[in-house]
A and B are shown apart, each in its own frame.
Chain A
Amino acid sequence: MAVKMDPIHQFELKPLVSFGHIGNQEIAFTQSALYMFAAVGIIALITVVATAQRSVVPGRMQSMAEVFYEFIGSTLRQSAGHGSERFMPLIFSLFMFVLVLNMLGMIPYAFAVTSHIIVTFALAFLVIGTVIVYGFMAHGTKFLKVFVPSGVPGWLLPMIVAIEIVSFISRPISLAVRLFANVLAGHIALKIFAGFVPALLAAGAWGAISPLPLALSVAVTALEFLVAGLQAYVFATLASIYLSDALHPGH
C-alpha cells in the first residue's frame, strides 16, 4: 500500500472554467472562486432569507442571524467607539465571509480559500484602504495625526513618527499573514497527522500505535474549528480597531 504524503496538494488551484490567457497567466474560474460564491450564498441564506419574515419572536434561522449581528455590533462598538455604526456593513460582511470560508474549509475534501495569502491580503487591503480613504475624507490632513502620538518628547518624535509609519504599513501585512498562516498551518498539520495513520498501518507492526495519530488528528480537527471561528473574530476585531483610527485620529 503506497501512501502518498503531500500536504500541500490540497491548496492547489484547479481551474473550472477557463476564460483564456493574459500573457502566460491563465484567467479561469477556479474552485477558489466557486467556494467564495458558495460562501456568499450561504451568508445570504442565513441573513437575508432567514430574516425575511421579520417575526417578533424569531425562528431558528432568524435568531442565528440576530446572534451574529448583535455579536459583531457589540464588538465593533467596543473597539471603534462612537460613530462606528457606519462601518457595520463592512465589518459584518468581512466577519461572515471569513467565518464561512474558514468553516467551509473544514469540511473534508473541501478547499480552504483563506489559506491563500492573496485572498486574505485583498481583504486586509480593503480594510486599510477604507481606513485611509475615510480618514482623509472625514478629517483631511488631521488624519496624519495618527502617526504622531501625543506625549512623546520632542527629540524622540522623528524616530517615533518613522516607526509609526512603518507600523501602519505593517498592519495589513499582519492582518493578512495571521489569517493565512493559521489556516494554512492548521490544514497542513491536520493532513500530516492524518497521513500518519495509513503510513503506520502500512508499516507492519508499527500499525499497533496508529490509533495515536488518529486521536491526535481528531483533537487537531476540534482545534481547527476553534481557530476557524477565532481567526474570523480576530480579523473583525482588528479591522474595527484600525477603523477606530480613521474615526478618531490622534488619540
Chain B
Amino acid sequence: MRLSTEFIAGVLAGGILGWMCDHFLGTKPWGLIVLLMLGFLTGVYNVMRVSGALPKAPTTKQDR
C-alpha cells in the first residue's frame, strides 16, 4: 500500500503539473507528455527511495 501510493502520487503529480502547464501556458500537448513521463520517473524514484534502494542518497537519510 505504501509503495503503490508513492508511485501513484508521483504519476498524479506529474500529470496534474503537466495539465496545469498546458492549461495556463498554452503548451498543449507537450507539457502533459513531458511532465507525465517525468511523473513516472518520479514514481519510480519515490518507490526506490521508500524501499531503500537508494541507500547513499543524502536527501533520504531519514526517510524510511
Per-residue contact bits, chain A 172-186, to B (CB 8 Å; 1 contact, 0 not): 011001100110000
- Taking a contact as CB atoms under 8 Å apart, the answer to whether A241 and B64 are in contact is yes
- Per-position contact with A for B22-39: 1 when CB-CB < 8 Å, else 0? 000000000000010011
Give A130 to B16 CA distance when docked, in angstroms: 22
Query: A151-B56, A163-B45, A166-B42 given as contacts; is B5 within 8 A of A174 (CB)?
Result: yes
> Which listed residue (B46, B58, B63) contacts A150, Cβ 8 A?
B58
Q: Is the interface of A mostly helix, strand, loop or mixed?
A: helix
Q: How many residues of A contact B (CB 8 A)?
A: 27
Which A residues, 80 to 106, have Cβ-Cβ distances below 8 Å to chain B? Answer: 80-81
Q: Are A166 and B17 in contact (CB under 8 A)?
A: yes
Chain A residues whose CB sits within 8 angstroms of the CB of B58 once the complex forms: 149-151, 251
**Known contacts A166-B41, A170-B6, A178-B2; 7 further A-B pairs (Cβ under 8 A):** A81-B62, A166-B13, A167-B10, A170-B43, A177-B5, A178-B5, A251-B62
A interface residue numbers (CB < 8 A to B):
79-81, 146, 149-151, 162-164, 166-167, 169-171, 173-174, 177-178, 181-182, 234, 237, 241, 244-245, 251
